[in-house]
Amino acid sequence: MTSQPSSPQAPAPAPAKLKPLPFAFPFLRKGRGQSEASAQFTDEREIYRLLAKREPSGSYLVSRKGMWHGGIHVTEAGAGQSLDLEAGLRCIADGVVIACRANKTYPISEIAATDGGSPVQAPYSTGFALVRHTMEFPRGTKLTFYSLYMHLMSWEDYANFPQRKKPSYWSREWRVTQHAQDKPSPGRNGQIPDPSQQGLRVRKAPNGAPIGILPQGASIRIGKRKKVRGREWGEVTDLLGASMYPPVTGGYVDPSPDVGRWVYLGQENGGPMVEEVFPDSMFDRVIVTTDQTLSPSDSQGDGGGIPIKSGDLIGHLGRYDSLDQRTSGTRMAHIEVFCDDGIESFIEQGREWVGQHGPHKEDWAALGLPSEPTMLRVAPGTVLYQRTQNNEFVPGTDPLSRKTDAVQVYSLAELARDPNRRIPEPHPNPDPGCPVNWWHVDGVIAQGQPIDGWVCDFNFAGGRVTREFAQKWIDFECLADDHDPAHTIFATTPKWVDYARGADVADLASRSNLSPLMLKVYDALFTTGDGTQAAVELCTLSQTERGGYPWLMQAASRLIVKHESEWANPAKWNQLIVELETKTEPNPQHEEEQKRIEKLAWWDEVKAGVPGFPGPEVFHVHPIGLVGNFLISSGCSCKDQTITAHNLKRIAIHTSNEAIERYIEALNQAFVDYHFDTCVARAHFLAQILHESGGFSATLESNGKGVKSYDPWRGRGLIQITFEENYNSYKKYSGEDVTSNKAAMEKLEKSPHALLSAAWYYAVRFPLIKASDDDDFIWITRVINGAYTGYDDRLSYFNRAVDVLDIKGCLKLNVDGVYRFEDSKAYNEKRASCAWGMWNDPGLTKSGIGKKSAAEALKGYGRYLELDDAAGKPVDKNGNPKDQGWYGLPAKKPVRPFVEKRWKVLSES
């Protein structure tokens, strides 16, 4: 009797990969010219120029009046002139909305007329949204921070801008209008419909069978929305007590909650079928949303709230008419970021990890993160070289005149966008084993004149130039110390009063009069000079005298400063007013300002409702500096971008121009209709359909040749839809007849349905949008193909799309063009694990993965055995193993013995 072989020791599960936090700048750049669409900002320096030029009174850290300011301002008349105000403010990172306040109509500050003047009525917004974010680096070290968006547009004001969308986190209902005139069908026994029973059909699916009719005037809540053949549909999540008419006279309404419920959201009979309704209960109060449960898969934790993605709409600029300037019609927003004391240790641990592991690519791969630095830092004192006609780089005849006096930090990806700013070094000496480049950068000399020139990112003789990781928080510094409780930059409130009045006091603006905290800020920014005008210098950080660029504003963006929030303890402003009025006459404006401040405050209400929310003494972070540091390294800020025919041709290099033009319009429409919202999802979809269709060349299985046992339901489309069941499912979903005859079936072979059916198969039939957003190429291929046939070709298409669309910074699992099996959802499925073993097995001939690897095959085989053991080695009713006949094995041959044999052979080879 022979003994049974024991199960091989399967490899231990790989640690979970880190999920880099996606970032986006909080607004879009206005299109240049009438025909150009708005676009994402990609360079923080461009935003600093804009803020310095247009928003000098709303700078980070210090206002023009010498007050603390923990965020930035954006106004319609200022920076808004260069922004897409219709697109509104955007969330800076993935997170959850934990609190908000929406004005139904703006509160109004009123000041009675004096000295024959006119009375003042100044509307202002107290609306806000507060978002909690969590980032992790290194593994096990997390930071929770918050982004705040103040002075948002009121509900009433949106009526003045009908094209602007309202924030999705606003609680809303949908009311059936008089334009919805669907009626029950006549009864089977001839019953005549009651003419009063009119409303809106509720269907099992978009364009599906009706299950009832909502009466006119009924209100419902809607969750998911989708477009099918250009018509928008909404899924009903709550009937709000409404009773439906039966779809057939004399029939009944299926009460089962398991039945799908979809309604048409478009227009018929001269108007909209439903209209948006906002209950009064959501207005003019602080609403804490943490009672809303997050899904288990949400990357932002389990603390509750309303999920929101980077780049999603937060709101629009609201009214904020000034009382002292007596302006009218001012629209603005205040944006800030803050966090508790944990940021100090978070930054320290991140820097320590990068210091120890930065050069080791395998350590980054273990975290699932890109292994290349993302920032270029040019230290002060660096000489910017000149480029000769022979493409040589020299310090020039007067190097001292080309020595920069300010820190410069650039995104390497942003520099690389302009081919004129990068010159590869062909023969670096010594050779670091990685590409070396010369970069064209700007600077400013000590005397204030601008300069520009070239630096090398390795072994540069002209000064210290380094490539840095975003996780190192390069040049960021945390500052904390005592400050004036009344929020001035001075050591005491009376000193600020003297400064604000322009009193005849010696050394009024001197650094000696600053608070200890603001003295630290000043010394961090101004390393030369005697400090006699320190207060004036701090109040004008946005100045651009030094070479036309706001170097001080950029430097300030790296200071993380601890200060009491403006939105807490409104009584503190009483002290300011009392001190001010001891030197001046009472002013009715002061009383109105105090009323405003009290209505703007929200901190105590949020802290009472949100577990773990910090006290009001918090570290403030420049929102543009934060996004600029992490944008390229960790997030996708290119949502909803279309793909041009030119770029598609660069990806599908063997596809004809005719085929590109045939599908480009349907492709971009599919991206919208099927919610391919991120550039990564679009690139994954492209890679799969280009492989499956041979570069858009094949839309009929076997080119229609031969006989198939499942004819006439052979594969059609760019992801070939096969079998009668799938044809019927697509017909039901799309409402298009693709089943009744050969001509109907052939619609799947041509644009647009060749492509739209592929999008349906990818996004609906086997929902792969989340896997695409997660950058899980291995799982996507497993689902589309059943295994890994064509793996290399699919990956080649995908990596080419990454390069062409410039989305490397948006990837999550792709490290240097490669995916790890352990990071994929496939790692937790038996069949996918077995296939990974077989397709990588050097002893088999499975096609698709050209470079076979015994190590990878052992990963797959070992994981299959581990999962099979965990499942109890399942058998059918006859006691035979359930896993039989996979991937070319004889029909009834068990899989496990085969896997054990291959494991043994590979382990011993």
| Ordered DSSP codes for 216-268 | TT-EEEEEEEEEETTEEEEEEEE-TTPPPBPSBTT------TTS--EEE-SEE
Residue 465 phi, psi (nearest 5): -125, 125
β 477-479/559-564 pair status = parallel
Residues linked to residue 143 through DSSP beta bridges, in sequence order? 135
Instruction: Dump the DSSP string for 61-119.
Output: EE-TTSBEE-EEEEETTTGGGGB-TTT-EE-SBSEEEEEEEB-SS--EEEE---TT---
Sign of the C-alpha dihedral computed for residues 825, 829, 832 and 833 taken in this order? positive
> Measured between alpha carbons, how far is 214 from 201 in angstroms, rounded to an integer?
6
Q: Give burial (CB, 10 Å; 0-12/13-18/19+) of 890.
A: exposed
| Helices (H), ranges, 735-809 | 742-745, 753-760, 769-773, 777-785, 791-805
pLDDT on residue 546: 54
> Measured between alpha carbons, how far is 466 from 375 in angstroms, rounded to an integer?
8
DSSP class of residue 746? G
C-beta separation of 674 from 668 below 8 A: no
Compute the C-alpha angle 826/832/838, nearest 5°.
130
> Measured between alpha carbons, how far is 838 from 842 in angstroms, rounded to an integer?
9
> Measured between alpha carbons, how far is 267 from 276 in angstroms, rounded to an integer?
13
Residue listed under structure tokens 């830092």: 377
pLDDT on residue 4: 44
pLDDT on residue 227: 77
- 589 dihedral zone (left: phi>0; alpha: psi -120 to 50; beta): alpha
Contacts of 894 (CB under 8 A, 6+ apart): 880, 881, 883, 884
Residue 134 phi, psi (nearest 5): -130, 130
pLDDT on residue 5: 47
Residue listed under structure tokens 């019927």: 728
Q: How far is CA 208 from the centre of its chain?
A: 33
Q: Give burial (CB, 10 Å; 0-12/13-18/19+) of 32.
A: exposed
The terminus-to-terminus CA distance of the chain in angstroms comes to 27
Provide the token pair at 94. 């993935």
Residues belonging to the chain: 909
What is the H or E stretch that residue 621 is in? strand 617-621
Is pTM beyond 0.85 here?
no
Percent of the chain with pLDDT over 70: 94
Provide the token pair at 77. 């008349």
In a 13 Å sphere around the CA of 309, the CA atoms on its Cβ side amount to 11
DSSP class of residue 765? I
Residue 792 phi, psi (nearest 5): -65, -40
Provide the token pair at 880. 């035979």
Residues linked to residue 437 through DSSP beta bridges, in sequence order? 424
Which of 493, 496, 521, 525 lies closest to 508, judged by CA? Answer: 496
Which of 634, 17, 820 lies closest to 367, judged by CA? Answer: 17
C-beta separation of 769 from 752 below 8 A: no
> Measured between alpha carbons, how far is 27 from 38 in angstroms, rounded to an integer?
10
pLDDT on residue 56: 84
Query: What is the Cα gyration radius of the chain?
Result: 32
Residue listed under structure tokens 């971008």: 641
Residue 299 phi, psi (nearest 5): -75, -10
Chain segment 358-373, per-residue pLDDT in tens? 999 899 988 988 888 9
Q: Which residues of the chain have pLDDT under 50?
A: 1-5, 35, 633-635
> Measured between alpha carbons, how far is 496 from 133 in angstroms, rounded to an integer?
36
Provide the token pair at 200. 């809106």
> Measured between alpha carbons, how far is 489 from 68 in angstroms, rounded to an integer?
6
C-beta separation of 274 from 183 below 8 A: no
| Long-range contacts (CB closer than 8 Å, 24 or more residues apart) made by 110-115 | 110/592, 111/323, 111/588, 111/589, 111/592, 112/588, 114/588
